[in-house]
């Protein structure tokens, strides 16, 4: 029965994703990339791919004139981003009240080493989402959102662990942010130096950077010699081009 329930949840996520794949993201004055506009990208598939590959987002908001930027995990379902935390969390309480929010995600792909200090840079893929987050009150959507967040961190883990209890669900708040006003910014390629600097005898190029998993470390309070799950041993965040 539990396996069937998990299959329904996966079907729910796939259905929502398929339903919204073709919907374009409209460019707005707030999301238009002004600094080096050629690096801007407003394609939904590109934005979704970056969101699906990264692990952590930063949630920016202001309360009574005081700005906050909080890092947190998330999950995407179709054209919505879900974040979660303790029901007592100030961030989630404030955001659920309709505070304007700016969510950012960045993936570092390389260090760009130029011939001059001025032209050093980084290759990256980033997304900015603007909007108002809404508190999820429907229990079914809340459970599906938590499943999506778990799947985003590591696929198939949800099937192996104890599901949340009613009390745990009550103590957890989930917010939904529509991915409606958003843009991506991407830098690729070698350094761009001043023409006269290309004659300098200085090494220049790109040092690729990537996030790679290490060797799993078992919890020392495990009571059995349980095998490491395949989804842990073989985890790999596939780059979405």
Q: With residue 104 as reference, give the H or E element that holds it.
A: strand 100-113
pLDDT digits (tens, 9 = 90+) for 33-58: 888 889 999 999 999 999 999 999 99
Tokens of residue 188, six digits: 């690729």
State the burial class of residue 138 (Cβ atoms within 10 Å of its Cβ: 0-12, 13-18, 19+): exposed
CA distance 36 to 17: 31
Question: Range with the lowest mean pLDDT among 1-10, 102-111, 204-213?
Answer: 1-10
**What is the C-alpha separation between 142 and 101, in angstroms, rounded?**
20
Mean per-residue pLDDT of the chain = 87
Least confident of 121-135, 185-199, 207-221: 207-221
134 has which bridge partners? Answer: 176
Tokens (6 digits) for 145: 């959102």
pTM of the model: 0.85
Q: Which long-range contacts does 88-96 make (Cβ < 8 Å, 24+ apart)? A: 88/171, 89/173, 90/63, 91/59, 91/61, 92/135, 92/173, 92/175, 93/173, 94/61, 94/63, 95/59, 95/61, 95/133, 95/175, 96/133, 96/134, 96/135, 96/173, 96/175
Q: How far apart are CA 8 and CA 56, in angstroms?
A: 26
Q: Where are the beta strands (DSSP E) in 9-53?
A: 40-41
Domains parsed from the chain with CATH numbers: 2-233 (2.30.110.10)
How far is it, in rounded angstroms, from Cα 119 to Cα 154? Answer: 37
Q: What's the token pair of residue 109?
A: 């792909």
């Amino acid at each position: 029965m539990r396996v069937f329930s998990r299959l329904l949840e996966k079907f729910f996520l796939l259905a929502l994703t398929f339903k919204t794949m073709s919907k374009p993201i409209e460019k707005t004055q707030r999301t238009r990339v002004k600094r080096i506009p050629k690096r801007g990208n407003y394609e939904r598939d590109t934005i979704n791919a970056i969101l699906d590959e990264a692990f952590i987002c930063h949630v920016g908001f202001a309360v009574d004139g005081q700005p906050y930027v909080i890092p947190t995990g998330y999950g995407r379902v179709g054209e919505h981003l879900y974040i979660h935390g303790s029901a007592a969390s100030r961030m989630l309480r404030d955001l659920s009240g309709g505070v304007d929010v700016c969510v950012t995600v960045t993936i570092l792909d390389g260090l760009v080493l130029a011939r001059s200090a001025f032209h050093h840079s980084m290759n990256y893929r980033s997304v900015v989402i603007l909007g108002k987050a809404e508190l999820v009150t429907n229990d079914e959507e809340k459970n599906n959102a938590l499943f999506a967040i778990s799947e985003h961190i590591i696929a198939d883990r949800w099937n192996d662990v104890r599901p949340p209890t009613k009390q745990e669900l009550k103590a957890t708040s989930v917010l939904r942010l529509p991915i409606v006003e958003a843009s991506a910014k991407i830098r690729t390629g070698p350094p761009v130096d001043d023409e006269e600097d290309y004659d300098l005898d200085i090494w220049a190029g790109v040092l690729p950077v990537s996030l790679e998993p290490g060797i799993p470390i078992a919890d020392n309070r495990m009571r059995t010699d349980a095998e490491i799950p395949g989804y842990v041993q073989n985890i790999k965040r596939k780059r979405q081009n």
